Amino acid sequence: MRSLNFYERFSRTFRENPSLSRFLVVFAVSGGGLVAYSEANVQTVGKIDELPEAESIIRHPVEARSVVEPIRNIVKKKNVNVDYWEAECYRIDAKNKKIYCRSSQDDKEEFVVDYDYLVVAMGARVNTFNTPGVEENCHYLKEVEDAQKIRRTVIDCFEKASLPNLSEDEKKRVLQFVVVGGGPTGVEFAAELHDFVSEDLVKLYPSVKNLVKITLLEATDHILNMFDKRITTFAEEKFHRDGIDLKTGEMVVKVSEKEISTKVIKTGEVSTIPYGMAVWSTGIATRPVIMDFMKQIGQANRRVLATDEWLRVEGTNSIYALGDCATINQRKVMEDISAIFQKADKDNSGTLTVKEFQEALDDICDRYPQVQLYLKNKQMSSLVDLLTESKGDVAKESIELNVEEFKSALSQVDSQMKNLPATAQVAAQQGSYLADCFNRMEECTKNPEGPLRFRESGRHRFRPFRYKHLGQFAPLGGEQTAAQLPGDWVSIGHSSQWLWYSVYASKQVSWRTRSLVVSDWMRRFIFGRDSSQI
């Protein structure tokens, strides 16, 4: 999904630069896989088994097949020179530049691929926090198959509750749906499940409709806690009106076949909820194959694979990583502060004038994006304001700072650093960025376009990756969607729902899936949700 630009642009490089022979890239699409380029021929091994928003399948219900655009169709349509192999990459051998693969077919046959450049984009696995019983008893909201299984399970619960041989208590248990995790995915799922149940299923199962209960468990004090407070409040109030049972400040400690045990975090009090279906949506963790890879490259002590700002995996020289499987380990200004001062102090006077500083400004902001964020938050127009602030009431032109004053002026900027969210939006921008880099590699090696190297000589070949946040949506059911857009614009209601639809549609890979998705919505609007089990 997210690799379209990557493929397209990437392939151009190799067609236009046939000199780059034995250049091999491995690209893994969620679940394991790779694109391998070899002698002007890009090869891919992978399995597309993840949607940008898997939970949307349950919501609309969007046909899974309409959303998953097979990678071969993309390749065919874009007329790019790519080989695709459907297999799982189960081991990366960074030392010998080899990838070990296992066919996705039943026989799981194995083979090895050499690479020169490797792009790792294998996504993440569900994080169970090692809670006992989660893997065996909970549904996830990650793969297309998950969504289909959940749909079927919901209806199975209603069928079971309708059987003549069940006690009232047992019927109640079967119709207790528990969603664990109050992030956007869990909230959207709970809301959509509520709509599906209250608008459609109760009509088909009138005899059991009063026994249904939906519970949302969140370990922190509020749901949607990465969103604006207004959205959180709106969502919590809406859930309350809808009769969705919201339990915040409770964490799951154990899941058995028919019961979930929770602990109130503040009091330590443990209680159990008998349930019919449980959906686990509490965040992501690193896949075993990546953990193994991290050990090889000296990242054993980290929890997530680290790259630099150019998406190069730290500790390697020809491996890149993007998406949920990695985080960017952003360089701190303070680590380089002396080097920055030295580079900026062109006359080696031991002090920085405003003029010297202004000349280094662009490079500093380019190399350390947290500087820009800090200025923005402080509502300063440039670093010069920062200096002015530190020197008090002095005319700008006459400011001069020594290295200690410079350190002190910049001492707070690193606090602005934070990890990018694990969203498709980030991964898509990274894929596009990386494709662009590969496409202009020869050109930028000759004429580097990146910022100054403060610790070494010369410039960086490329500008670092910079994420552009386009906003985030939280569909809340009942045709209501909350949107948090750049510039703290918050929108809640029907208009956001339609905004969400149009953004979702525009994110689809091709005109074909796009129109099918829209037609699936139309179906929903016309016919309501479908409650067959197939």
Contacts of 16 (CB under 8 A, 6+ apart): none
According to CB under 8 A, which one of 198, 248, 318, 531 is a site residue for its own copies? Answer: 531
Contact residue for its own copies among 21, 73, 198, 261 (CB under 8 A): 73
Give least dist CB 164 to its own copies, A. 6
Annotate each residue in 152-191 with x if it binds its own copies (CB under 8 A) or - if it does not, as one string. Answer: ----x--xx-xxxx--------------------------
Amino acid at site 161: A
The interface mask with its own copies, positions 195-214, x = CB under 8 A, is: --------xxx---------
Q: Which residues pair with 402 in a beta bridge?
A: 351
108 versus 355: smaller Cβ distance to its own copies: 108
User: From the list 15, 16, 22, 109, which residue makes contact with its own copies (rule: CB under 8 A)?
Assistant: 109
Stretch that binds its own copies, among 10-18, 57-65, 372-380, 468-476 (CB under 8 A): 57-65
DSSP β-bridge partners for residue 319: 118
Q: Applying CB under 8 A, does 114 fall inside the site for its own copies?
A: no
By beta-carbon proximity to its own copies, the closer residue of 349 and 515 is 515
Looking at residue 240, its amino acid is H
Q: What is the DSSP letter of 448?
A: -
In this chain, which of 6, 27, 84, 406 binds its own copies, going by CB under 8 A?
84
Q: Which amino acid is at 159?
A: E
Residue 30 interacting with its own copies (CB under 8 A): no
When asked if residue 272 is in the footprint of its own copies (CB under 8 A), the reply is no
d(CA 59, CA 521): 10
Write the binding mask 495 to 514 for its own copies: x where contact by CB under 8 A, - elsewhere: -----------------x--
Query: Binding its own copies by CB under 8 A: which of 63, 228, 400, 405?
Result: 63
Retrieve residue 129's tokens: 């926090």
Please give the DSSP secondary-structure letter assigned to residue 201: I
Residue with tokens 């379209």: 4
CB atoms within 10 A of CB 445: 10
CB of 440 to its own copies, least distance (A): 30
Torsion of CA 320, 321, 326, 332, to 10 degrees: 40
Q: Give the span between the Cα atoms of 176 and 493, in whole angstroms.
A: 28
Tell me the two tokens of residue 23: 């250049």
In three-state form (DSSP H/G/I as H, E/B as E, the rest C), the secondary structure along 381-424 is CCHHHHHHHHHCCCCHHHCEEEHHHHHHHHCCHHHHCCCCCCCH
Q: Beta partners for 452?
A: 459
Which of 72, 332, 466, 494 lies at the binding interface for its own copies (CB under 8 A)? 72
Segment contacting its own copies by CB under 8 A, of 401-409, 415-423, 449-457, 522-530: 522-530
Cβ closest to its own copies, residue 72 vs residue 376:
72
Binding residue for its own copies, selected from 22, 65, 295, 455, defined by CB under 8 A: 65
Q: By the 8 A CB rule, do 141 and 149 touch?
A: no
Residue 376 interacts with its own copies (CB under 8 A): yes or no: no
Residue with tokens 């067959």, as numbered in its chain: 532
How far from the centroid of its chain's Cα atoms is residue 188's Cα?
A: 16
Q: Which is nearer to its own copies, 113 or 122 (CB)?
A: 113
Question: Could you give the CA distance from residue 89 to residue 111 in angstroms, rounded to a whole number?
Answer: 10
Tell the smallest beta-carbon distance from residue 165 to its own copies (Å): 4
Cβ pair 437, 13 in contact under 8 A: no
Q: How far is the CB of 513 from its own copies (least distance, A)?
A: 9
Per the CB < 8 A criterion, the answer to whether 54 and 42 are in contact is no
Say whether residue 259 binds its own copies (CB under 8 A): no
Site string for its own copies, 339-358 (x = CB under 8 A): --------------------
CB of residue 378 to its own copies, shortest distance in Å: 49
The binder of its own copies chosen from 22, 76, 230, 396 (CB under 8 A): 76
The site that binds its own copies (CB under 8 A) totals a number of residues, namely: 44
Beta strands 176-180; 213-218: pairing state: parallel
Site for its own copies contains 403 (CB under 8 A): no
Shortest distance, CB of residue 201 to its own copies, whole angstroms?
A: 9
Burial class (CB in 10 A: 0-12, 13-18, 19+), 194: buried
DSSP calls for 134-166: HHHH-EESSBHHHHHHHHHHHHHHHHHHTSTT-
Site membership for its own copies, residue 489 (CB under 8 A): no
* Residue nearer to its own copies on the CB measure, 149 or 453: 149
Q: Does 135 bind its own copies (CB under 8 A)?
A: no
**Residue whose pair of structure tokens reads 């969400």 in the numeric block:** 500
CB of 412 to its own copies, least distance (A): 49
Tracing tokens 């919901």 back to the chain, one arrives at: 154
Give the C-alpha separation, 423 to 53, whole Å.
Answer: 9
Is 150 one of the binding residues for its own copies (CB under 8 A)? no
Q: Which is nearer to its own copies, 93 or 159 (CB)?
A: 159
Closest CB to its own copies among residues 122, 516: 516
How far, in Å, CA of 41 to CA of 43, rounded? 6
Using CB under 8 A, list all residues that contact its own copies: 63-65, 68-70, 72-73, 76, 84-87, 103-107, 109-111, 113, 144-145, 156, 159-160, 162-165, 203-205, 512, 516, 519, 523, 527, 530-534
